Amino acid sequence: MRIDGGVSIPVREADGRDVISVALLKKSMDAMKVSGEDMKKLLEQSVNPNLGKHIDIKI
C-alpha cells in the first residue's frame, strides 16, 4: 500500500483475508435480509385462513 510522501506499507496477508471475510459476511447478511422480507410477505398473505378455500367454477 502506498501512502502520500512515498512511504510504502506492506499489506499483511491477514488484512486481505479480513477484507474478504467482511465482504462475504455482508453478502450473507444481505441475502438473509431479502429472505426475511420474503418470509414476512408470505406470512402477511397467510393471515386470512379462508383465502383460497373455495373455488367458483362455471361451465
Q: Are strands 2-3 and 7-8 parallel, antiparallel or unpaired?
A: antiparallel
C-alpha to C-alpha distances, 51 to 2, 15, 17, 44, 55, nearest whole angstrom: 63, 54, 50, 12, 10
Q: Where are the domains of the chain?
A: 2-45
Please calculate the CA angle 51-44-53 and round it to the nearest 5 degrees. Answer: 10
| Per-residue pLDDT reduced to its tens digit, 5-59 | 555 555 566 677 788 888 899 999 999 999 989 988 888 877 776 776 777 788 7
Q: How far apart are CA 52 and CA 32, in angstroms?
A: 29
Cα distance between the two ends of the chain: 75
Q: Quote the pTM value.
A: 0.48
Q: Is the pLDDT assigned to residue 3 strictly greater than 50?
A: no
